[in-house]
Amino acid sequence: MTLTAEPTTTTAVATHCPYCALQCGMTLSPEADVTPRQFPTNAGGLCQKGWTSPALLRSPARLTTPLVRTDGELRPASWDAALDLIASRLQELRAEHGADSVAVFGGGGLTNEKSYLLGKFARVALGTSQMDYNGRFCMSSAAAAGMKAFGLDRGLPFPVTDLADADAIVLVGANPAETMPPFVQHLRGANAKGGLVVVDPRRTPTAEQADLHLAPAPGTDLALALGILHAVVADGLLDQSYVEDRTSGFDAVWRIVAGYWPEQVERVTGVAAADQRRVAALLARARNAYVLTARGAEQHATGVATVSAWINLALALGLPGRPGSGYGCLTGQGNGQGGREHGQKADQLPGYRKITDPAAREHVASVWGVPAESLPGPGRSAFELLDALGTEGGPRALLVFGSNVVVSAPDSARVAERLSRLDLLVTADLVLSETSALADVVLPVTQWAEEDGTMTNLEGRILLRRKAVDPPEGVRTDLDVLAGLAERLGQPAERFPTDAETVFTELRAASAGGPADYSGISYERLRDGEALYWPVPDERHPGTPRMFLDAFAHPDGRARFEPVEHTGPAEPPDAGFRLLATTGRVLQHYQSGAQTRLVAELNDTVPEVYVEVHPDTAERAGLAHGDLARVTSRRGGTTARVRCVGSMRQDVVFLPFHFPGAQRANLLTNPALDPTSRMPEFKVCAVRLTKEDGAE
Ligand code: SF4
């Protein structure tokens, strides 16, 4: 297969990196060469992933023709043949088994326009409630906790550059030195003042830079937050007037937290009581202070409660809604923020509206030109949806856009087994990812630099990503794919536009009046370089860089303390599985690695899964640095190269989750779900470590 990324313009295009939510500014030349660009989030910096991002535009692994499985093999087919086949199979399944027999799975890397049109396609063209997306695995616990506390969820309710003036920052379960390196410069102000605290079971590159590293046992950071909050109150550091004037519910929280004195919490977490008190004092005495959480706090069966515990701490110190201070969640995927606002989620409609809200249904249905009663209700959450595939009463067909669930979902062997039961699996993909390799039909689609679209970064700022190069011949945009399928399913062509700006104009109308109101944002304003943070309710509105300065989004304007208790991991260690495994990311790879594993500079550096382990723990298992180890949980096992790391806790092992096949860390992970967010417990499961041949 040959491929060239031909220039569509003769001048360089100011754009943004295709990967994480920092959305670093970069310039792409007509020859598809990248140079970093001054933009507030990256200030001229790029990480290795950003520098090498154009490599995938020219990759020989790019798909350039639809593939249809025939006699067990994926074989090239024409677009018409592929789309006709999909549409006729979907119609048969819907006629025989009902609309919910077809499911749709989206991704947090899709542009706002794609997220929006995908949600509309599912609800209108397919009429299915069975739709969710991989953002459920990444940000949904912080979103739910933010909704409870503040009445609204925007990852960072302030520009990232505000962090530079902080005296103290507590970073919980985040490793930006590897996941988004240019972000680290925003921590330097606090670092220089001795005020950077990192909470992480591992001594990550971020923790290395911290002034204080707290290493709680995996699954105990909720207890740690309660211990620090106890110290705040016991040491007379509570911001009494803020709590009285701007919040409600503190007394119920204190009734629980009173029992979590730091010495007690030390026994649960392993974090010294003196360090808990030190953090309390550091935050309380700082002029400007922030508490920031990320996946380490969220990816638990108690993820919402854990994030709520850290928000409670921030509220007790009077940080949220105060200029120069606050609480925020570091969003991970490129459009993790926008992707959760415009209707890919099982329970949402565009504008961050609830699909169960009659007024929201009326509004969105009127924009879509359909009766409100025709819209389905909420569907299954991401893992529950994948787990139901091919089972009695579950979906029999799945359309996947922008996600590689075989690698990224928890208990991934079970997910692969469920996919194998489907009557029809369709993917829209750049390359033959591990999920596409199982599909019945694969549709080759464009990527970031080959199409227009908007992204919403981790600050809630909307960015225009403009087309810079032509896609390879034979490739179509996701919007084209949705329009082609919708028309074959009997929808009027004008209901599914293929031009990104036209879709965005409709998205604006659909979001108008909703919590994430984009109605005042236009491509023209974005082209003019305006820095627009939602909500932007009209075209003269300057946007909302800082939220909650006057009031929180609950009807009474107050933030709410949420009473939460520590319960620990869903799967504690026992005699058969004595260690705790935690999973995460490395600098060189992004998410399931489907893209970055194809970039030689990245993959050559980290080509395979490894397991980080304390040297004594390795020795007890008869292993040494460089050996192959077998890591086994109750769900399955993976073979990984041993890396002995002296700073690891002796009861913990760590594996990155970017690798395919038998190297999948998610063969181990526990799909226990948070009761509110339905996010799985990626961050902790019980495992045993043995020699690769299985000998103990
Ligand atoms: S991966 Fe993230 S941090 Fe790295 S260049 Fe891209 S946007 Fe920036």
- Helix intervals (H) in 294-442: 295-298, 303-316, 336-339, 358-368, 382-388, 405-408, 412-420
Predicted pLDDT of residue 138 = 84
Query: 394 pLDDT band (50/70/90 cuts)?
Result: very high
Spatial distance between the Cα atoms of 60 and 58, rounded to a whole number of angstroms? 6
Nearest C-alpha neighbor of 254 from the set 233, 285, 281:
233
- Mean pLDDT along residues 430-457: 96
Instruction: Write down the pLDDT at residue 10.
Output: 67
648/530 Cα distance (integer angstroms)? 45
Q: Whose CA is nearest to atom 3 of ligand 1?
A: 180
pLDDT beyond 90 at 27: yes
Question: Ligand 1: distance of its center to the CA of 18 in Å?
Answer: 8
| Residue 1 pLDDT greater than 80, yes or no | no
* Cβ partners under 8 Å of residue 393, min gap 6: none
Task: Using the mean position of ligand 1's atoms as its centre, give its distance from the Cα of residue 179 in Å.
Answer: 8
pLDDT digits (tens, 9 = 90+) for 311-368: 999 999 999 999 999 999 998 888 989 998 999 999 999 999 999 999 999 999 999 9
Q: What ligand 1 atom has the least distance to the C-alpha of 51?
A: 5
DSSP state of 316: H
Classify 554 as helix, strand or coil: coil
Q: Which among 23, 34, 35, 46 is the best mutation to test ligand 1's pocket, defined by most ligand atoms within 8 Å of the CB?
A: 46
Phi, psi (degrees; rounded to nearest 5) at 106: -110, -165
DSSP 472: P
What are the Cα distances from residue 599, in Å, to 180, 219, 594, 607? 18, 34, 10, 11
Cα 609 from Cα 659, distance rounded (Å)? 6
* Mean pLDDT confidence for 605-614: 93
Could you report the per-residue pLDDT of 649-684, keeping only the tens digit for each?
Answer: 999 999 998 888 889 999 999 999 999 999 999 999
Q: Where are the beta strands (DSSP E) in 37-85?
A: 67-70, 73-76
Q: Mean pLDDT in the chain?
A: 94
Tens-digit pLDDT profile for residues 218-269: 999 999 999 999 999 999 999 999 999 999 999 999 999 999 999 999 999 9
* 57-60-61-67 Cα dihedral, nearest 10 degrees: 100
Residue with CA closest to ligand 1 atom 5: 50
Residue 592, pLDDT score: 79
d(CA 282, CA 319): 13
pLDDT in tens, 82-134: 999 999 999 999 999 999 999 999 999 999 999 999 999 999 999 999 999 99
Position 460 pLDDT exceeds 90:
yes
Which residue among 49, 178, 187 has the greatest number of ligand 1 atoms within 8 angstroms of its CB, and so is best to mutate? Answer: 49
Residue 375: pLDDT band by 50, 70, 90 thresholds?
Answer: very high
Question: Looking at ligand 1, which atom is closest to the CA of residue 180?
Answer: 3
**Which range is least confidently modeled, 8-22, 351-365, 434-448, 617-631?**
8-22
Atom of ligand 1 nearest to the CA of 16: 7
What's the pTM value of the predicted model, to 2 decimals? Answer: 0.95
User: With 60 as the cut, is the pLDDT of residue 75 above it?
Assistant: yes
Atom of ligand 1 nearest to the CA of 46: 5
